[in-house]
Structure 1
């Protein structure tokens, strides 16, 4: 029996609207109508009474509904079970990572691991830190590489690879460009070009400014550090960014200077506590050995 027909039937019993059910199932009204007619033909009963553009469940539909729901539920459980089995036995690993991963040791660890274990296939998916928890951690062959500030959740396993700190990035011709360290209060009158609320760096920057008792003038918020650095080089303002991220991106027109107060971040691999795939356990053991 076609699961798609049963899914259309179940949804239609809730909406009593071919149009709404078609929207829910990302198909056309005509396709839903065809599926219902085919299901009625297959079952040998009428499932819906159609009068004056309104539909109602027949008694046969009410009898069939719990069986249809059970079949769809068991089909979904079957697919989940087989997916879990595949994740446990195959040699594929899915790593969700922040965009700046190549700036950190985590990237080198992945490449070194693949040299030692060419049988493992790793898929990398890039996302901002706030998108990495908790959904990507649910799969048995999923691992996250993220930047965190503060405490770590007890429900996850953590392996920290390194730490990073904030620096102020200034144009080389800026009056403060030759300083070895900058108190944030010295930048109070500057225009700030920042990685915005979509990233997990915005709140730590705001906390540093609060500690320094300054109210920054933010003239730009974005998600691309390369664009922000270009704007800084054009003397449109200054930025606060993670040191190891920007060091590989600086050109001769820019300088990066540590600031006080500061916020320290930890770069780490994370996975959910519990059972994991063979590939995940191989990679985790490699990280622990390092």
Structure 2
């Protein structure tokens, strides 16, 4: 017997509506009726009662339904095991992450995974926070490494690695470099160099500037932190960046000044809970164990 017919029975038992089940299963209403009639004839039992435009599950249907669900679950588990094994051998693990990934523990975790499992193909690409927020929805990305400021969607598993906070980078020739701390209103007249993620709509900095009704002069808005550091080192402007996202080696003319009040973020791996690939489960377990070890 085709398990497709069993799936039709389970769906109709949920909807109690032939038209709705036909829409959900992308079948015609007549096909739904034929499948139910086939099951009833094969099993010699009445599954549904149709009367006065209403559909009701019979007592026999109620008793059979849990058993049918178990059959479908066993089939799904088998398909997942087969598919997962095939993906682990043939399909790459697709990860998207922040351009500043090398500055965080996540970089050590990813490189450690590739060394421990050299036969697994890894496909990595960079993206900004706004893009990463929707990357998993496309289902062509397995894992993202991103910066989160609030509670992630319930459809995702989240593994937090580290915390970070915004600081101000100031050329040492600028009087602001000698301050113990800086506030956003002190930066209003400055020429500011920003990474795109810093002022994305997902960033609390965006909301903070809006609430203070500040419109700082942004003279650079891009992804390249190295370009920002080079400009700052030459005395051009200031920048607001996450404290762990840069390396000042070779940039001796830049001072790091705390930003008050503190604006924090968390760095995390995220994946969809409904991703069945075994290679994703393998990476997730490795990343979880390494995160605990590195803390």
TM-score of the pair, normalised by structure 1: 0.63
Over residues 29-64 of structure 1, what are the superposed CA-to-partner deviations in whole Å (9 max), with x where a residue is unaligned?
A: xxxxxxxxxxxxxxxxxxxxxxxxxxxxxxxxxxxx
2:245 aligned counterpart, secondary structure: helix
Distance 2:279 2:236 in 1: 47
Q: Which residue of 1 aligns with 2:238?
A: 238
1:203: Cα distance to partner?
4.4
1:185: Cα distance to partner?
2.7
**Distance change (3 Å), C-alpha of 1:118 and 1:268:** same
Q: Which residue of 2 aligns with 1:263?
A: 263
Q: Do the aligned residues in 1 keep the contact of 2:147 with 2:266 (CA within 8 Å)? A: yes
**Distance change (3 Å), C-alpha of 1:210 and 1:250:** farther
Q: Which residue of 1 aligns with 2:186?
A: 186
Over residues 197-227 of structure 1, what are the superposed CA-to-partner deviations in whole Å (9 max), with x where a residue is unaligned?
A: 7974884333233455643222332232222
- Count of residues in Structure 1 that have an aligned counterpart in Structure 2: 209
Q: Which residue of 1 aligns with 2:155?
A: 155
**Distance change (3 Å), C-alpha of 1:196 and 1:89:** closer
Distance 1:155 1:91 in 2: 23
**Distance change (3 Å), C-alpha of 1:92 and 1:196:** closer
Computed over aligned residues only, the root mean square deviation of the Cα atoms, in angstroms, reads 2.9
Alignment of 1:1-290 (within 5 A): 86-87=86-87, 90=90, 92-136=92-136, 138-139=138-139, 142-196=142-196, 200=200, 203-210=203-210, 214-248=214-248, 251-290=251-290
Distance 1:280 1:181 in 2: 43
**Distance change (3 Å), C-alpha of 1:194 and 1:84:** same
TM-score of the pair, normalised by structure 2: 0.62
Flag structure 1 segments of 5+ consecutive residues without an equivalent: 1-81
1:271 aligned counterpart, secondary structure: strand
Flag structure 2 segments of 5+ consecutive residues without an equivalent: 1-81, 291-295
Q: Do the aligned residues in 2 keep the contact of 1:193 with 1:238 (CA within 8 Å)? A: yes
Distance 1:194 1:254 in 2: 15
Q: Do the aligned residues in 1 keep the contact of 2:228 with 2:239 (CA within 8 Å)? A: yes
Q: Do the aligned residues in 1 keep the contact of 2:129 with 2:147 (CA within 8 Å)? A: yes
Over residues 231-258 of structure 1, what are the superposed CA-to-partner deviations in whole Å (9 max), with x where a residue is unaligned?
A: 2223231110111112356610111111
**Distance change (3 Å), C-alpha of 1:222 and 1:202:** farther
Distance 1:147 1:200 in 2: 12
